[in-house]
Amino acid sequence: MNKSIKQCGLLLILISASLQGKSDSIDANSLINQVIAACHSLHSYKMVVVFKDQVPGSGKILSKETTSLAYQAPDKLMIRNGKGIYACNGSFEKTFLVSYNQYVIQKEPSNISSLRINSAFNLDPITYFIAGILTHNRNTFPDNSQFHWTAESGGDAHHPIETLSGIEGTNSPVKFQLAINPLDHLITSITIGWNTDRVVAQKVNPIIPAAAFNFIPPNYSKYATYFHYPEAVKKKWKAWQKQENLKREEAIESDNNFAKQMITKYVGQPEVNFTVLSPGGKKVKLSQYLGHVVVVDFWATWCGPCMDLMPTIENINRKLASQGVVVLAVASWEKQSWCQAFLKSHPEDKSDIVFDPAHTDERNSIATRLYDVHAIPTTLIISPSGLVTNYFYGRKKPKAYYSALQKLGIDTSILH
């Protein structure tokens, strides 16, 4: 197994899923073992996965790629996508990369966990994940000594679902949503931030002819003992990179225009009151802090920029409370249990965390419904008279928040 496959578990460190309806906690280690055991018990398996790379906030699709995987125990594997083909027929491994126009043939290693799937494939998370388990790579799931795992079962009678939740890192955690079918314990989808990876077709224990794993490279391709990086590939890569950068610049410009619209709409207007829940279940209203400077931060534990902003929000909360500044860190677009698991593993965060009663229902959340929040973090600063003085869309430098507070008469010199 190549390095990228072995790092599959490092990529999929935070795994969770949104549920509608009732959910119950279950043992995380048991669920992990069930998923691994379900894959190891397969005699054969076929799946088709579609991965969509989307622009944060707008949901605009930048790219979409389809990957197919076929497996026959104990050592036959075929992976195909737009970047190439990997085939192991039990004797030899063949890898063909479209961009290189080259193929490499290697004798299959004696240990299936040493299969060499080239990193240039840039496989989607589900394919990495499934390939990692099928080839008995035990690093696919990090253990509880490194990460705090929780698991839930829920959904309804027609659409039951099981989920795993965890926290990746401390500075820039990323939101992963992984759904598991409780009937066979196979993965059905993963959402990473705004990107989606979904199994659109699968067959469990199908009859797969041995010939299906014998890949014949195209006539126009060249044999190589190892992959060379041709000049033509470099030019294509640079052109692609330029195109992707342009797409992202357009997305950033769109975000900037949206931010200007929100500033025009909300700044100078009276606050829109809302009710959130404290960790103990007590109702907390924004209006009860009239007469105070209030910092409302819409955030989530899965949001990397939110975590980057957290030290600034915590600094304001810790050092300016004596001046009457109130911080309401509203956990949005996530389950309360996810946030509580995060707080349990990060006791250093002392901000007044409150929860949106809508939980994972983004459309009906306070952030979306009352303040048109399209992406987090979004931070509001409200004057003692109840007027919105600042609408910060996205993470800004600490100075921006400190300056806004200073204009409201708060001594921010102790923050620096």
Do residues 299 and 353 lie in contact, with contact meaning Cβ atoms separated by under 8 Å? no
Do residues 334 and 360 lie in contact, with contact meaning Cβ atoms separated by under 8 Å? yes
Confidence band of 2 (pLDDT split at 50, 70, 90):
very low
CA distance 402 to 411: 9
List the beta bridge partners of residue 398.
none
Q: Are residues 173 and 289 in the same domain?
A: no
Average pLDDT over residues 376-385: 95
244 located within any domain: no
Its sign, for the CA torsion 362, 364, 366, 367, is positive
Collapsed DSSP state (helix, strand, coil) of residue 235: helix
Q: Which of 202, 229, 256 is the last residue of a domain?
A: 229
**pLDDT score for 359:** 87
Q: 325-374 pLDDT, tens per residue?
A: 999 999 998 888 878 777 776 666 656 789 999 988 888 999 999 999 98
Pairing mode, if any, of strands 283-285 and 294-299? unpaired
91 located within any domain: yes
Q: What is the dihedral of CA 338, 176, 131, 212, to 10 degrees?
A: 130
Q: Which of 168, 201, 229 is the last residue of a domain?
A: 229
149 located within any domain: yes
Q: What CATH number did the domain enclosing 393 receive?
A: 3.40.30.10
Do residues 300 and 376 lie in contact, with contact meaning Cβ atoms separated by under 8 Å? yes
Q: Are residues 196 and 317 in the same domain?
A: no
Task: Report residue 346 CA to chain centroid gap.
Answer: 20
Residue 317 clears pLDDT 70, i.e. is over it: yes
CA distance 36 to 29: 11
**How many other CB atoms are there within 10 angstroms of residue 337's CB atom?**
15
What is the DSSP track for 327-377?
EEEEE-SS-HHHHHHHHHH-TT--S-EEE-TTTT-STTSHHHHHH---SS-
Q: Are residues 330 and 217 in the same domain?
A: no
Q: Are residues 120 and 33 in the same domain?
A: yes
Do residues 99 and 230 lie in contact, with contact meaning Cβ atoms separated by under 8 Å? no
Record the tokens describing residue 143, joined without a space. 């253990």
Q: Which of 229, 259, 287 is the last residue of a domain?
A: 229
365 located within any domain: yes
Q: Are residues 219 and 276 in the same domain?
A: no
Q: Are residues 320 and 208 in the same domain?
A: no
247 located within any domain: no
80 located within any domain: yes
Q: Are residues 274 and 402 in the same domain?
A: yes
Which of 150-159, 296-305, 321-330 has maximum average pLDDT? 321-330
Residue 144 clears pLDDT 70, i.e. is over it: no
Tokens 């829109």, located at residue: 272
Which is more confident, 21 or 284?
284
Residue 21 clears pLDDT 80, i.e. is over it: no
CA distance 351 to 44: 50
**pLDDT score for 156:** 64
**pLDDT score for 176:** 65
The count of domains in the chain is 2
Q: Are residues 208 and 339 in the same domain?
A: no
Burial code (b: 16+ CB inside 10 Å, e: under 16) for 224-243 equals: eeebeeeeebeeeeeeeeee
**pLDDT score for 221:** 86
Do residues 180 and 162 lie in contact, with contact meaning Cβ atoms separated by under 8 Å? yes
**pLDDT score for 9:** 37
Collapsed DSSP state (helix, strand, coil) of residue 64: strand
Nearest Cα to Cα of residue 141 among 24, 282, 260, 35: 35
Q: Are residues 276 and 216 in the same domain?
A: no
392 located within any domain: yes
CA distance 339 to 352: 13
236 located within any domain: no
Exposure on the CB side of residue 3, measured as CA atoms within 13 A: 2
Confidence band of 297 (pLDDT split at 50, 70, 90):
very high
Q: 38-82 pLDDT, tens per residue?
A: 988 999 999 999 998 876 555 567 788 999 999 999 889 999 998
Which is more confident, 237 or 132?
132
CA distance 165 to 144: 12
Average pLDDT over residues 126-140: 76
Do residues 352 and 377 lie in contact, with contact meaning Cβ atoms separated by under 8 Å? no
Q: What CATH number did the domain enclosing 201 receive?
A: 2.50.20.10
Residue 168 clears pLDDT 60, i.e. is over it: no
Q: Are residues 218 and 316 in the same domain?
A: no
Record the tokens describing residue 146, joined without a space. 């490194």
What residues make up the domain containing 387? 268-415
Which run of H or of E encompasses 255?
Answer: helix 231-266
Which is more confident, 395 or 298?
298
Q: Are residues 144 and 275 in the same domain?
A: no
Q: What angle in degrees, to the nearest 10, is found between the helix axes of 304-320 and 398-406? A: 40
Helices vs. strands in the chain: H and E counts, helices first: 9, 20
Q: Are residues 136 and 274 in the same domain?
A: no
